[in-house]
Amino acid sequence: MNRIIHVENLTKVYRQKKREAGIVGALKSLFVNDYTSKLAVDGVSFEIYEGEIVGYIGTNGAGKSSTIKMLIGILLPSSGLIDVNGYSPFKDRKKLAKDIGVVFGQRSQLWWDLPISETFQLLADIYGVSKEEYIQTINELVEVLEIKDILHVPVRTLSLGQRMRAELCAALIHKPKILLLDEPTIGLDVIIKKRIEHFIIHINKKFNTTILITSHDLNYLEKLCNRVILIDHGKVLFNGPIGRMKETFEIFTRVEIVLEEATSDPSLYNIEGVIKINIDKNTITFICSKKVNTIELIEFISKTNKIIDIKIIEDSLEDIIGNVYENKSIL
C-alpha cells in the first residue's frame, strides 16, 4: 500500500495572552504583553496508507481537531513534519486542496442562505470540476446520500441530519483522494448515523478514498475503521485495531439487573470475573472483566430470581483512557 499521510513528531503550542481582571488589568495589557503557553499536540507520529479508514479518537481537548487543522494546512505546526500525498499542508495548501475533502461536524462549508444545489455548483467552479464530471459526480452523490428532495432548499432550513449529508456531498464534489471527517456524527440520531456509516463504506470501496475520522464514539468507529489512533493530552496512547486495544487494555462492563424482589444471595459474591458487586434492595450492579459472559451471568441470576429490567454498559472512551493511565501503558 502507498503511504498517503506521514506525521512525525508533530507539535502545536498555542500562545494565549494573559490579562488581569478589571480596568487596571485591561490598561496594563495595553503596555505589557504577558503570554501563557498551551501544548495541544505533543510529539504525535503516525502513518496512514491509501484506502485505509482510520479513527482518530480521544476525549474533548485531546488534540484531535488541532491535528486535523494542521493536516489541511489552516494551522501551522510549532514543530514536526507533515506530508499529505507529497505536499507540506501549510506551504502547499492550494495544491493540496484538490486532493483533500473536509467535513467539520460543528462548522459548515455551505452558504447559509443559498439552496445546497447552488453551493455545490460554486464549489465545483472553485475546484475546476468540468460540467460533465460535475453532473456525473453530483448525480451519484445525491442518490447515495438521499438528498434529492432538499437540493433546492436553503441550508438554514435544513435539519442537522440533512445538513450533514449535504456537507459530505460538498466535500466530495472534486473526488478527493483523502477525506477528513471531524466529529461528523455529533448530535445525529441513530438512523442518520447509520446512513452516513453506509456512505463512508461505499465511497471507500468504490473510489479507494483514504478516510480519517475523529470521534469519541468508539462503538461507531469499530464498525468502520481498519484501526484507531488514540490520543490524549496531545500524545498518542495507542495505534492499532480496536480489537487489539480492547485486548490490550482492561475494559470493564457494568451489568445492572433489576429484580422483582430484593435478594441477599451470598453466591452472587463468588462469580468469577466480577470485579465489584453492589446490591441496593432489588437492584444488583456487577462490574465485570472481559472474562465474564454477560449472557451466562444473566441466565445464572434468572434461575433463582425474576428479572424485571437489564442494562449493559461497556466502558466509555474516557474509561479506557483512564485504564491506560492506570496501567501505565503508553504504546
End-to-end CA distance of the chain: 23
Distance, in Å, from the CA atom of 170 to the CA atom of 179, rounded to the nearest integer, reads 11
Instruction: Give the per-residue pLDDT at 229.
Output: 93
Distance, in Å, from the CA atom of 251 to the CA atom of 161, rounded to the nearest integer, reads 32
What pLDDT, in 10s, does the model give residues 32-55? Answer: 666 788 899 999 999 999 999 999
Distance, in Å, from the CA atom of 100 to the CA atom of 181, rounded to the nearest integer, reads 11
What pLDDT, in 10s, does the model give residues 120-159? Answer: 999 999 999 999 999 999 999 999 898 999 999 999 999 9
What are the beta bridge partners of residue 253?
Answer: 288, 314
When pLDDT is cut at 50, 70 and 90, the band that residue 317 belongs to is: low
**Does residue 329 have a pLDDT over 50?**
no
What pLDDT, in 10s, does the model give residues 233-289? Answer: 899 988 998 878 877 777 788 899 999 888 888 888 888 888 889 988 889 999 988
When pLDDT is cut at 50, 70 and 90, the band that residue 160 belongs to is: confident
When pLDDT is cut at 50, 70 and 90, the band that residue 328 belongs to is: very low
- The CATH class, in words, for 252-314 is alpha beta
Contacts 24+ apart (CB under 8 A), 202-207: 202/144, 203/172, 203/179, 204/51, 204/53, 207/175
- Rounded to the nearest 5 percent, the helix, strand and coil shares of the chain are 40, 30, 30
Instruction: Give the per-residue pLDDT at 314.
Output: 79
What pLDDT, in 10s, does the model give residues 87-129? Answer: 999 999 999 999 999 998 778 888 989 999 999 999 999 999 9
Dihedral of the alpha carbons of 270, 273, 277, 282, in degrees to the nearest 10: -80
Q: How far is CA 255 from CA 149, 263, 284, 313, 319, in A?
A: 44, 16, 8, 7, 16
Amino acid code (one letter) for 267: S
Distance, in Å, from the CA atom of 165 to the CA atom of 184, rounded to the nearest integer, reads 9
**Does residue 324 have a pLDDT over 90?**
no
Q: Output the nine-digit C-alpha cell for 250.
A: 482492561
CATH tag for 3-248 (out of 3.40.50.720, 3.40.50.300, 3.40.50.920, 3.40.50.970) = 3.40.50.300
The phi, psi pair for 48, rounded to 5°, reads -130, 135
The model's pTM? 0.78
**Does residue 161 have a pLDDT over 70?**
yes
More confident residue, 29 or 275: 275
Sketch the domain layout of the chain as residue ranges: 3-248, 252-314
Find the range with the poorest average confidence among 133-147, 178-192, 193-207: 178-192
Percentage of the chain lying above the pLDDT 70 cut: 91
When pLDDT is cut at 50, 70 and 90, the band that residue 331 belongs to is: very low
Distance, in Å, from the CA atom of 181 to the CA atom of 292, rounded to the nearest integer, reads 35
Q: Under 8 Å CB-to-CB from 229, ≥6 apart: which residues?
A: 46, 54, 55, 56, 57, 236, 238, 239
Q: Under 8 Å CB-to-CB from 190, ≥6 apart: which residues?
A: none
DSSP annotation of 91: T
Distance, in Å, from the CA atom of 157 to the CA atom of 74, rounded to the nearest integer, reads 29
Question: For the chain, what is the mean pLDDT?
Answer: 87
